[in-house]
Structures are given as structure tokens and as C-alpha cells.
Structure 1
């Protein structure tokens, strides 16, 4: 009963400030929601109360004389006494004098308007400019007071540092620092976003820096060709993602601050599609009128989490994905209708449900609210279907060059069997199919595989097959079955490929490998593995797929090594002059047959069969050590040293020596 009485003390308005009645009744159990509000309110009140108590105790606390000087109370009362000619006290006359002193203190500090600020102004600055000696304090008012400085004790000269003028060594006020001119960049939130590391760097310098980085990282493997830049390195991203939140009573949208989950509000972005930014801004403005609450990661309440916008480069089609924490979307039909009225260019709208407490943007379930649920675009003369979860390069201009270079380096003549690993929606494989005999695509994402199958049908490509499987497992299965391919096209994620996959490439006898990489570090790692198994990098072609950022896309051509020279020998077997008898070859082969490796297990089995007793491995190791034999075969050598060594009996020593003679070890 006590719990309910506490509950009803909470004003009803307090509850409805947090969420609308519709959200309380439809999205989450109302009692959990109320309990959470009460906890937050109680915790907040306790925190405020504790802070006030701490401040009160700290203000009352006076330092011991001779150590830290007098308290600010003493200094302030002395200052009030000098200003009014009377010592500060509690009588009405003295209180009036104190108020006048407060007023003068406030006038000297134009920004302070309350008594606490005036007191800080009158006494707080004493602490910044030296310590009182505990006996006497000199105070200067007048000109120095007009300059907002009050000195007690010894005169202190501040050292040059943060907030100080480098020439005069004087501290600059906060107002002067704010007035100081600051260099303006192209984006006001670039330092917080962290997405565009090179935004304020001239584009020519960006390309030069990336070229030198690729040369330093990959130059030891092969030649690094000149990087392919863009004519217009802005607003190239055709995929835009915005995270939504709530701040100061208003919905906000933007990006996560670098290495945090703090939302940085963003209206427009220098590398994102401008129409996509405009649509996101429209959605943000509609939330209040439709009473849609944004999702709160801390409490787990709210509806809208993210908005994803994808735009076709050649088709101009636009897909909007609304990521919600619940499948219940109040007034979704009216919301979609209003959004389409403001942006009739939208082709399809999809609701994606993500109720997991993870960093993943998209969930598993989707509902098509308008249109087909996907858009189509054209790349290298082929049409491709793009769904919300499909991987599709975000820079279509550079992608045209990237894939064109990959197909060119593959050197297809129409007779090759090609494997497209990590194929996504089948872009590279479908483009290569017209120049190859057969193409096999493998992709782990089931949605992407479905799109790939549809893309092949849409482009009337019949010599390609797609498999939904892990690329490494698929390659290992091909190698185990003895299957072969001529060319491997691989475009792995930023984490790179696996050693097992690379070794399987050699097992399927691929002559050429085209490695498309978005991670130069992992590319360098994988090239080292390729070289070990006989593949030589022939060249690296960098592509600036992501201008204004530190990322670089690369295409690498690898060819299987061939012998530098050949020696031709004709040998005839049989009986007669000039021929080598087969029997003599067999005898020589038997004579030069390598000896079987003698193991400890073989020695122990021989002794037990001949002498009828067992010997420990440590005994065999000791006999071998005494005979000066190599000890690399002793499995218990380390364990022997950790324990007191046991010595074999003379009988067992002779048995071990007999076994070593039998196996021709001695």
C-alpha cells in the first residue's frame, strides 16, 4: 500500500511529459514505464540534495590558520567592512550595508547577477592569484578592481599557458577567448563526428597522402599505380544513415560522436546525398505533430531509432527505411502519406523492426509501407535490385571504374570458370558473366543472395549460379571435392579474408586472383599468405572510393608463379642398349628409401614384447641423452625438469639400448 501512495504523489503532468498516453499503452507495459520514471526522479532528487549538502559543507569549512590562509568568509567580511566602514554582521543596518556591497560587486562583474556569483567575484578570484599568508592580506581596489582583478597577499605573475597571451603572458578572459577569431572549417561538427578526417585538407593533398600510404604499405609486394581520384569529391554517398534521439524537448538526428553513442545533430553533410539529408530533415520535423517519440538507448523506450535513405545514381529511385524499436507504428499510414506529399520522389518506404540492445542498425523483420520494398540502379551496363540489407557500393562513380578495372585485369576470354567470392548482390559476377564461360557466386547474406538471383534474371544472365554459404567453407568444400576454377574474384569485408580461404584458392588451382579490398592493412596481411602458397602480386591500383576520409579501395592482380626455366629430358625404360631397366630402378629406389621415423611408442612396444616389462618415456630419453643422441623427439623433456629425475635400472638400460640397435638408431 505504501508503494501505491508513493505513486499517486507523482503529478500526472510529470508522466505525460515523458511520453504520450498512446506510447504508454501500446509500446511498453505501463507499470514498467512508471517505475522507471519514479526511479529517475528519485535518483535525480537525491543527487541534487547530495550536491547541495556537499557545497554547503565545503563553504562552511575553514582552513587552518598558517596552512591555507583564511576562509573566503573571513576575506569577504573584511572586504565588506572596508567598503562600508563596518564589520559584516547580522543587524538590519549591517545587512543593508552588505546588500550595498553585494550590489557594487555585481556591477564590477557585468555577467554575475546573483549573490553567489557576486560573492565568487569578490572572493573567488583571490584563490587564483596567490595564497594569503595567514597573518595579513593586502587588498587593492580602484583601478585594479575596475579591471576585474583583486589581489590578496603576494603579487602573482601567471605563467604562459592555456588561456594566456603568448606575448604579454597575461591571462585572457573567457569573453576574450570567445571573441578571438577561429578558423572555420567546411563542417561545424567534423571534429566530433570523426567521419571526414581530411575534410579541411585540399583534395590534391588527400590523394598524395593516400598514395604515399599505399606505397609504404604495399610497395614491398609489387608496383603501386597512381590513385584514381574524383572530379567532384563531395556529396557522393548514395546511402545515408541517421540516428535519432531527443534533446531539450526536441527530436534530433545525426551521427554518433566518434567512439561514443552520443548523438551529434547534423542538418547536412558534405559527403552525403543532399536529397537524402533533406528527407531526413522532413521526417525529423514530422515527429512532433504525429507524437512519435524517438528511441532512448538508456531507458529502452521510444519508437524511432534510425532512418536509412538509399538513392539510385542512374535511376534516381529513393528508398526510405524507418528503423523502429517496436512493430507498432501509430498512424503509420497517415505518416507515410504525409511524407510522400512532401517528397513525391520517394519510390518505396520500409519499416524495419530492431528491438535488440546492440549497435546493429537493422533488425531481422521488415514491413513494406509503400512501394515494392526495393529500388533498382544501373552499374556498368547492368541493372541491380537493392533492398534495405543489401551491400551496394556507396560511391557509384568510383565503383564504375573499380569494377571495370577488376574485369580488365582478370583477362577473361570467354572460356574461363570464374568464382565470385563475397559476391553481395552479384554485381562483379554478373558484369563478368558476359565475358566468361561460367560464374559461381557465393555470399553469406541470404537477402543479398535473393537479390543476386533476381538481378541475374533481370539482366538475362544464364551462366551464373549463386550459393548462400560462408566463402571459406564453400572454398574448402570445392577443394575437398577436387573442383577447379580459373579465376577468383574476391571482395571481402574490411576484416579481409581467411588463411583457410587463401589456401583453398591454391587447392582449386586458380591461375588468377583479383582481390578488391577496402582495408589496406588486412590486404597486406593476406598478400603475405598468397605469396607463401605461390601467388605473386603483379600490381596494385588504388581508388579513392571515400574522399575526405582516410579509407582507400584497392584492386590487386595476383598470378600463380611459373618456373623461370625448363629442362627437357627424354628417358626410355626397358631392356636393350640405351634403355634403363625397370628392375634396376626399383632396386635403387628401395635402397634409397628414407628410413622410417622411430618413435618412443615403437621402442616401448618392442621392449614390452621381447622382455615382458614396460619402460617409461623418461628412461628412454635419459639413455638417449647419455648416448649423445638428439633429444627433439622426447615428449616429456620439459616435465622431467620440473620433477626429481628417476633413473632406470641397469636391466632396463640394456633393454632400451637393444631396442635402439634394432631400429638402427645406434
Structure 2
């Protein structure tokens, strides 16, 4: 996912799921709930003069984002947290052309319904499927991918996760004040600026949540105020924590509104005493009115400023702004399948487009003749070169630039590539990049995607221009959420 996402990371555009990875230069609402779940944080965003009625409905299916499908007065409505086969009472709100439905109570529950493990599930909205059991989640995701990919053939069975919690190796927490002026920390409700006070997110690494809880407790004694986006007052905006799942190394990034940090040495000392497992602490200054978590200024307060982790047998240095897949257990399955689909024999030239810090390209280099990584973000390219050297990789080179333009120039020089591995952002690729693939004519295109809907669009382009799909593998990278990663193998047709 270059993504994130609760979702994954690469992902959804909400504050909850931001990614900092750069890509080609061209390139959910608060959860409904029954009446026992309390007030809707987004209620003030609804149209005025709305009318509400209660209706009894039956759920006939699910949308691609996990909402229940029902019929009401000839209209198809979508209802969060409703499962196929269930009957329920819903509240239907109308105002002009606006029609929305909210679950009031389930009358006949599905056998697949479970009590969400997370006590914040109905408030947060970062996870969308915790009301389903594991089997139902797997079936929903498989069916969604099967329907999307039907024009290209039948996908393989989705690769699931044995322990579908605690998997996120990156998390960020926001701080604020409640109505009693007490400091709270947590996550924004989906598609809102409603801060949900919480002490644990069940898909975060548990140690990360322990650390930000400690920081919240330290804020009062160090007279640190949370930043207020509306007034521009306050100091601490976010805490970003990255955990090396294999190495155990931990990075803490204090995202602040100004570089003036009174008492920072004592703060760092106290935090390290409480959590000696922390290996580096950074201060990132973000003084802009922006939804992006990280600013441009960065200062190391303790340690080397990066952490190291191991993926598919290789070691990678991870900085605060590095994109690194947030679920390493499932990433190894995803990348292993991508390399398998590339069918490398040790002689091939492989282009790793959107290469980031070089993860998949360096993994491919173990079986390829030569790897060329291309990435717009110069910091990511620098990290990729460093990671190449630390792993003793001699057959990989990394370049800063637009991958599409790079491939067009290769084609113009008469150079060839056997395999192109592409892993674009959620928006997918664009025609400029895809046309450059067609010009270069690699024998295989391995398309890794965090958004199967845009992947289908791009695959349609490639199949219209000489390629055919040979295999599709979905991977459940983000359990408890609707997001799925897929990798597709596309092969250049042989001309008659």
C-alpha cells in the first residue's frame, strides 16, 4: 500500500491513512450506529430541513466498501454495518435529492455478525468490517475482487493473515482538548475533524500505543499544549511512531507547530526512561495549515534518526518520511507472489517504477540480471541507493525522475526491459505512464495495487494495447478494513 492507511497505508486520503510517498508527477464518513452508540460526530454536516422516517428493510448484499444494500421506496440505499440476509430498522433522512440511511437496530442478525473487538469501532470509522467474523471478511474481499477482475479471469484465493490485529508498524496520533480542557489523544473520526479520545487501536502495534499514551501523560507536567488547527495555537500536533517488526527498533516523531521546544532535553530524557526500547526520537516542524502530518523541517533529538527492519531477508533503513509497507507479514506474501509472477531466471532487466526506498526492486535483484529503479522523490532515491549498498546489491541502480519519461527515453535509445514492476498510489497510474510501458514493450508487467478499482482501469488500457492477464492474486494487507492489495501478471502477446 504506499499507502495507509488504517488502511492501509498508501491510501485513503483521510487524516487517518496518510502516506508521504511521492509518485509520478501526474499522478469514510463517521460510522453509522444504532441508537445505543450515541451521537453522530458528523451530524452538523447534514443538510438542513431534512425529514426522517423509520423503515424496516432487508439487506440483499454489500457494496465494494462494505455497506449493506437495501431497497426503500424504489431506491437503493447503502447502510453501514448491515450484513446480507439481515432485517433491520433504519432511519432514512431526506432533504431534496439528498437521501441517507442509518442503522437503527438489527432485527434478525446474520450468523456472520460478531461484536466488534474494538470499543471505538462505531465512533472511529477507520475500520469498516469488525462487525463481520473472519470468514465473512475473507468472503467479502474475495467476492469483491472476483467481481472487479471478472473481465480478466478468476483471481486466486485471497492470502489472509493468521493474527489480523496489531499489524500496523506505523501509527500517528493527534492531540486536543476536550470540553473540560483536559488533554486527549486519539484518531480523527473518518472524514471529519472530530477527534476520538482513545487509549488503544487494535490494528496498531501495541507498543506504539503505549508510547503515545506516555507522551500524553507527560504533556501536563512539561506544560505542553496540543495544537489547535482552528486557532493556530498550541505546540504538539501529532506523534508518529514507527516500529521495526523484526528488529524491534522504534522511532518516535514529535510533530510540532514551532521549532522552539522548551525543555526538550528533559522531555527526551523522561521519555527514554519510560520507554528504553525507543531507539530514535525526532522533532518535525509543521507550521502550515495543512492536512499533511509531516512538515519539511526535521531535527534528530536522540539516536541516528532512522530505524532498520528486515523484509524478505534484506535490511532497510526507514526514515520518518520513508514509505514502507505497514503490514510486513502480508507484504512478504505480496512481494513473494510478485517475484514469482515475474518469472526471473537471473538474466532479465527489471524496471521498478515508483520504486520508493527500493524495497521490491532490491528483492527482485536477487533473481534478476539487472534492476533499474525510478522514483520522483529524491530523498527516497537516496534511501534506495543506501539500502542497495547496505545489502551488498551490485546489480541495481536507482534514478530520480519520472518513470514514464525514463522508459520512453529507453525505448528511443533502442534499449529493452524484460519486466516492469509497477506499484502506483491509490489513484493508479495515468495514460502517459501506461503508454510509455506500451512503447518499451516489456515481456511482462507486474502490477501491484492498493486500489483494485483503478488497477482494473489501467489493466483495461494495457490489454487494449497488446497485453493479456495471466494471473491475479489478492492479499489481505489490511484486516478489519475494506482495503485489499492485488498483484496481477500481464504478458505481452506474441505477434503473428
The two structures have a TM-score, normalised by structure 1, of 0.57
Deviations 1:254-282 (A, max 9, x none): 11111111211121011111000000100
Report SS of the residue matched to 1:554: strand
The one of 246, 252, 264 equivalent to 2:184 is 252
Paired residues of 1:476 and 1:501 also in contact (CA < 8 A): no
Q: Determine the structure 2 residue equivalent to 1:148.
A: none
Q: Determine the structure 2 residue equivalent to 1:348.
A: 280
The one of 134, 140, 143 equivalent to 1:209 is 140
Report SS of the residue matched to 2:223: coil
Once the 2 structures are TM-superposed, how far is the Cα of residue 508 of structure 1 from its aligned partner?
Answer: 1.2
Paired residues of 1:236 and 1:272 also in contact (CA < 8 A): yes
2:163 matches 1:232:
yes
2:311 matches 1:379:
yes
Query: How many angstroms apart in 2 are the aligned matches of 1:230 and 1:380?
Result: 17
Once the 2 structures are TM-superposed, how far is the Cα of residue 192 of structure 1 from its aligned partner?
Answer: 2.2
Higher helix share: 1
2:203 matches 1:286:
no
Report SS of the residue matched to 2:299: strand
2:330 matches 1:398:
yes
Report SS of the residue matched to 2:445: strand
Query: How many angstroms apart in 2 are the aligned matches of 1:407 and 1:372?
Result: 32
Report SS of the residue matched to 2:139: helix
Query: How many angstroms apart in 2 are the aligned matches of 1:414 and 1:346?
Result: 40
Report SS of the residue matched to 2:151: coil
Paired residues of 1:476 and 1:500 also in contact (CA < 8 A): no
Paired residues of 2:350 and 2:371 also in contact (CA < 8 A): yes
Once the 2 structures are TM-superposed, how far is the Cα of residue 424 of structure 1 from its aligned partner?
Answer: 1.0
The one of 515, 521, 542 equivalent to 2:474 is 542
Query: How many angstroms apart in 1 are the aligned matches of 2:116 and 2:349?
Result: 51
Answer 1 or 2: higher relative contact order, Cα 8 Å, separation at least 6: 2
Once the 2 structures are TM-superposed, how far is the Cα of residue 450 of structure 1 from its aligned partner?
Answer: 1.4
Once the 2 structures are TM-superposed, how far is the Cα of residue 499 of structure 1 from its aligned partner?
Answer: 1.1
Once the 2 structures are TM-superposed, how far is the Cα of residue 479 of structure 1 from its aligned partner?
Answer: 3.2
Paired residues of 1:472 and 1:498 also in contact (CA < 8 A): no
Gap change, CA 1:532 and 1:250, over 3 Å in 2: same
Once the 2 structures are TM-superposed, how far is the Cα of residue 471 of structure 1 from its aligned partner?
Answer: 2.4
Once the 2 structures are TM-superposed, how far is the Cα of residue 162 of structure 1 from its aligned partner?
Answer: 9.8
Report SS of the residue matched to 1:244: strand
Q: Determine the structure 2 residue equivalent to 1:25.
A: none
Gap change, CA 1:184 and 1:514, over 3 Å in 2: closer
Higher strand share: 2
Q: Determine the structure 2 residue equivalent to 1:37.
A: none
Query: How many angstroms apart in 2 are the aligned matches of 1:307 and 1:326?
Result: 15
Query: How many angstroms apart in 2 are the aligned matches of 1:472 and 1:289?
Result: 53
Once the 2 structures are TM-superposed, how far is the Cα of residue 481 of structure 1 from its aligned partner?
Answer: 3.5
The two structures have a TM-score, normalised by structure 2, of 0.76
Query: How many angstroms apart in 1 are the aligned matches of 2:198 and 2:462?
Result: 43
Query: How many angstroms apart in 2 are the aligned matches of 1:515 and 1:270?
Result: 30
Greater mean deviation of Cα atoms: 435-444 or 285-294: 435-444
1:627-666 superposed matches below 5 A: none
2:463 matches 1:531:
yes
CA RMSD of aligned residues (A): 1.6
Deviations 1:484-538 (A, max 9, x none): 2110011111111111111111211200011000001100100100011101011
Question: Which consecutive unaligned segments of at least 5 residues does structure 1 have?
Answer: 1-160, 164-176, 178-182, 567-666
Query: How many angstroms apart in 1 are the aligned matches of 2:432 and 2:410?
Result: 12
Paired residues of 1:223 and 1:538 also in contact (CA < 8 A): no
Once the 2 structures are TM-superposed, how far is the Cα of residue 446 of structure 1 from its aligned partner?
Answer: 2.0
Once the 2 structures are TM-superposed, how far is the Cα of residue 477 of structure 1 from its aligned partner?
Answer: 3.1
Once the 2 structures are TM-superposed, how far is the Cα of residue 184 of structure 1 from its aligned partner?
Answer: 5.6
- Runs of 4+ in structure 1 off by over 4 angstroms are none
Number of residue equivalences: 386
Greater Cα radius of gyration, structure 1 or 2: 1
Q: Determine the structure 1 residue equivalent to 2:25.
A: none
Gap change, CA 1:482 and 1:277, over 3 Å in 2: same
The one of 428, 439, 458 equivalent to 1:507 is 439
Q: Determine the structure 2 residue equivalent to 1:93.
A: none
2:307 matches 1:369:
no
1:324-343 superposed matches below 5 A: 324-343=256-275
Q: Determine the structure 2 residue equivalent to 1:186.
A: 117
Query: How many angstroms apart in 2 are the aligned matches of 1:476 and 1:386?
Result: 31
Report SS of the residue matched to 1:305: strand
Deviations 1:318-356 (A, max 9, x none): 000100011111111100000000000000001111111
Report SS of the residue matched to 2:427: coil
2:443 matches 1:518:
no
Q: Determine the structure 1 residue equivalent to 2:79.
A: none
Query: How many angstroms apart in 2 are the aligned matches of 1:337 and 1:318?
Result: 16
Query: How many angstroms apart in 2 are the aligned matches of 1:235 and 1:255?
Result: 16
Gap change, CA 1:472 and 1:192, over 3 Å in 2: farther
Q: Determine the structure 1 residue equivalent to 2:357.
A: 425
Report SS of the residue matched to 1:494: coil
